[in-house]
Amino acid sequence: MSFQQWMESRCALHRTRRYDWNALKFQADFDPKYRRAQMRYLGTGGTGVSADSNTVPAEHFTFSTMIIPAGNEGPMHLHTDVEEVFFVLRGKVKVMCEKDGQTWEAILGERDLISIPPGVYRGEINIGEEDALMCVMLGANKPITPTYPPEHPLAKIKR
């Protein structure tokens, strides 16, 4: 591969991306409030999508954008192996965290960021009136698929 081809293979242009509303469809099928879409740029992230030839291969972390419609949410989940970063580009998102029975929450708006360490449950709800758009970064090239709290209904669903 030439240097030019190699560098071009490391570009993920917005015009060549599409939102994947099916990446987390099993959650939305359980309850429509979990409907959201992922647009992958670097690797496939932690949604369980095994491959996407239209992304830059991830070496050290993944990067995607996520649309969360107004009122919808990403359920509480746990990454045991990676830090996860949310960076809000548009909208207002409530982030909830829990570890060892202790809880914490914050409201993130435009250009706000949170870094959540491995081993901390996290969930987010779009509390605004428009679609929220956020960047999501995970600290591994192929993160382990997250798990849900044992009492959460999604913990019992097979993908």
Each residue of 73-122: pLDDT tens digit? 999 999 999 999 999 999 999 999 999 999 999 999 999 999 999 999 99
Segment 24-45 shows an average pLDDT of 96
Query: Tell me, what's the pLDDT at 95?
Result: 98
Q: Would the pLDDT of 159 be above 80?
A: no
Residue 60: CB partners within 8 Å, gap ≥ 6? Answer: 139, 140, 141
Q: Rounded mean pLDDT of the chain?
A: 95
Query: Tell me, what's the pLDDT at 156?
Result: 86
Question: DSSP string covering the chain, please?
Answer: --HHHHHHTT---GGG---BTTTTHHHHHH-GGG--EEEEEES-TTSS----TTSBPPSS-EEEEEEE-TT-EEEEEB-SS--EEEEEEES-EEEEEEETTEEEEEEE-TT-EEEE-TT-EEEEEE-SSS-EEEEEEESSSSPPPPB--TTSGGGG---
> Residue 42: pLDDT band by 50, 70, 90 thresholds?
very high
Query: Tell me, what's the pLDDT at 157?
Result: 83
Question: Which amino acid, one-letter code, is at 56?
Answer: V
CA distance 151 to 71: 22
> Residue 45: pLDDT band by 50, 70, 90 thresholds?
very high
> Residue 48: pLDDT band by 50, 70, 90 thresholds?
confident
